[in-house]
Structure 1
C-alpha cells in the first residue's frame, strides 16, 4: 500500500491483491466510479456503483466498520474521486491502483456478461 499525505489527510493506493484480501475478509466496501455501462458489462461482485459523473462524496457510506476503496478501470478516475472525497471532509480514503484492469490481470474473480444470453456470469 502506498500512502500519500494530501493537506494533512491520507490518500492510500492499494493494489488489487490487497483490495481482494480485505474485501474477502469483510474489511472494505468497494465503490466503483466507472460508468453504469462499464459496470453493467463487468464488475466485482458485491461492489457498489457511484459513477464519477454523479459522484457525491457526502453520499459515501461511513467508514466505521468497513473502509472505503474506490476503483475505476485504470486508477485515474478513482484517484480523482478520492481527492474529491478528501476535499469534502474525509480524513482518509483509499483507491485501487491500476483499477479493474489490475484486478483482471491478477486473475481475481469478477462478474461479466455472457453475450449469448445477456446473463451475468462468474469470471475468474
Structure 2
C-alpha cells in the first residue's frame, strides 16, 4: 500500500503496474543514459536527474507523475524538487528499478 516519505507518495512496483495499466500516471526515469540502456520500464522516457532544469517545463503542475531511478533515492530527490515548486501530484517508485518486477526493455533512449 502506498505511503508517504517527506511528503512524497511512494508506490510499490505492483501499484505502479496497476496505475500504468489504467493510464493514470506518467512515469519518468531519472537515471543516467547508461543505466537506462541496461534496462527500463517499456515506454518510459529518460529525463536524467542531473539536468532536471532542462526538462522540468515538460511537467505541468496538475500532471500525475511517478519518478523512477535505480533504488528510489534519486527519484525521491527529483519528486521533492518538483514538490518544493508546487507540484502536488508527484510520486516515487519505492525501491526503484531494483524493486521493479514488471517487464523491462533494454536499449538507449530514443
TM-score bracket for this pair, using the shorter chain length = 0.7 to 0.9
Quick check: 1:72 aligned with 2:73?
Answer: no
Counterpart of 2:91?
A: 94
Higher helix share: 2
TM-score normalised by length of structure 2: 0.84
Which secondary structure state, in structure 2, belongs to the residue aligned with residue 101 of structure 1? helix
Counterpart of 1:59?
A: 57
Q: How far 1:63 sits from its partner (Å)?
A: 5.9
**Bigger Cα Rg:** 1
Unaligned runs of 5+ in 1: 114-124
Quick check: 1:38 aligned with 2:70?
Answer: no
Unaligned runs of 5+ in 2: none
Question: Alignment partner for residue 110 of structure 1, among 99, 104, 110?
Answer: 104
Is the contact made by 2:29 and 2:68 (CA closer than 8 Å) also made in structure 1? yes
Q: For residues 53-112 of structure 1, what are the alpha-carbon distances to aligned partners after superposition, in whole Å with 9 as ceiling and x for unaligned?
A: 101273242265x62000100000010111111112212310100000100xx3x11102
Is the contact made by 1:58 and 1:88 (CA closer than 8 Å) also made in structure 2? no
Higher strand share: 1
